[in-house]
Amino acid sequence: MKIAFNITFHWQLPQLKFHLNNILNFNISSNCQYVLVSAHKENLTNIRDYLNTDEYKDKNVQYLFIKNDPGGPHLGCTHNVIEGIKYIRDNLEYDYLINVEADNMFYFEDKILKLIDKMQDNNKHMLLIDHPSCLGNELSNTQPGAPMPYFITTTLNIYSKYFVDNHLPLEYNKELMQSSWCGVPGTPFEPYLCWSFCKKHNLTTEQSMRDYFNKWSYFLHYDRDKSIYPDHTEPDNLTPDKFMKYGILNCPNGPRSSRSGGGYDSEPNAWERAKKFIEVHTPLAYEFD
């Protein structure tokens, strides 16, 4: 089985280096291809130099510079993810595409492989967070300008090649990109992707949306509020049950200045809280059915 990683990043270089040190040392790394995608040329060069060592010289790593960055953390993320997936689709041989970000990762190799096995066994082709795990039974419709309720189609995901080729919406839908989120212009990738699915596959009602994702998605169920070590728990970032069950880790980031469009981190070492989180929760990791 061949796996391609689409790894997008902006400014989180320490998080990315920590992330790469992990996934480039997986036992399956010889069957993996890693595409690093960024609109920041200096940061992409920094990572290329970092990996230019004897330790990683045998790894299949490619670098994709995004020249026409639309700007802003939301639109920039969407652009990077889509262009990275299109590059993999058009240039690489793979069976599964794993989409990750610098600070958003699948930490355990064995859990990645088990998720893929579960997808194969159940004829599913992408991952989807079970909504009661994070938002309650109703689909989200909390943001101004939202055209319709939506599933959280998470950026951190695993797609089969079949799904990339036949289902994933990789065209740009500019009319869906303008919902302001958290005081920052532009629609985040998660709702944008869900609405793009709806447009591509003519999902005009909430029920048709539910039916589509129920058919194609392997759902992840976890207890968002479960905490074993409260001092090392940060829902949405360091969520113990999500990590112990599926190996999903979201590193916290420090507050970012709106003055710089979200690009300046006023607490650059906030992500290191993830290291203690990993240390105390890894021994408690368990299997999922």
pLDDT tens column, 23-55: 999 999 999 999 999 999 999 999 999 999 999
CATH of residue 97's domain is 3.90.550.10
126 vs 124: CA distance, rounded Å: 6
Place of tokens 């009661």: 132
Report pLDDT for 260: 41
Percent of the chain beyond pLDDT 90? Answer: 61
Structural domain containing residue 86: 3-284
pLDDT, mean of residues 74-89:
89
Query: Has residue 217 been placed in a domain?
Result: yes
**Claim: this prediction has a pTM higher than 0.85:** yes
Name the residue with higher pLDDT: 15 or 252: 15
**In a 3-state reduction of DSSP, which class is residue 50?**
helix
Query: Has residue 14 been placed in a domain?
Result: yes
For 92, list phi and psi in degrees, rounded to 5: -120, 155
**In a 3-state reduction of DSSP, which class is residue 22?**
helix
Query: Has residue 224 been placed in a domain?
Result: yes
Q: What is the DSSP string of 93-138?
A: --SEEEEEETTEEE--HHHHHHHHHHHHHTT--EEEE-GGGTT-SS
- pLDDT single digits (tens) 201-222: 999 888 898 899 999 999 999 8
- pLDDT single digits (tens) 112-169: 999 999 999 999 999 998 655 555 556 666 566 667 777 778 899 999 999 999 999 9
Report pLDDT for 180: 59
Query: Has residue 289 been placed in a domain?
Result: no
102, 7 in Cβ contact below 8 A?
Answer: yes
- pLDDT single digits (tens) 91-113: 999 999 999 999 999 999 999 99
Report pLDDT for 136: 54
Report pLDDT for 55: 95
Query: Has residue 155 been placed in a domain?
Result: yes
Helix axes 41-51, 13-23, angle to 10 degrees: 40
pLDDT, mean of residues 196-201:
94
Report pLDDT for 184: 63
Report pLDDT for 104: 94
Tell me the pLDDT band of 185, cut-offs 50, 70 and 90: low
Report pLDDT for 130: 67
Domain count, the chain: 1
Instruction: Report whether pLDDT(236) > 80.
Output: no
pLDDT, mean of residues 229-248:
90
Q: Which of 168-172, 213-217, 235-239 has the lowest mean pLDDT?
A: 235-239
Q: Which of 123-132, 137-146, 185-194, 266-275 has the lowest mean pLDDT?
A: 137-146
Query: Has residue 29 been placed in a domain?
Result: yes
Contacts with 76 (C-beta within 8 Å, 6 or more apart), sequence order: 10, 39, 69, 70
Which residues on adjacent β-strands are paired with residue 219? 128
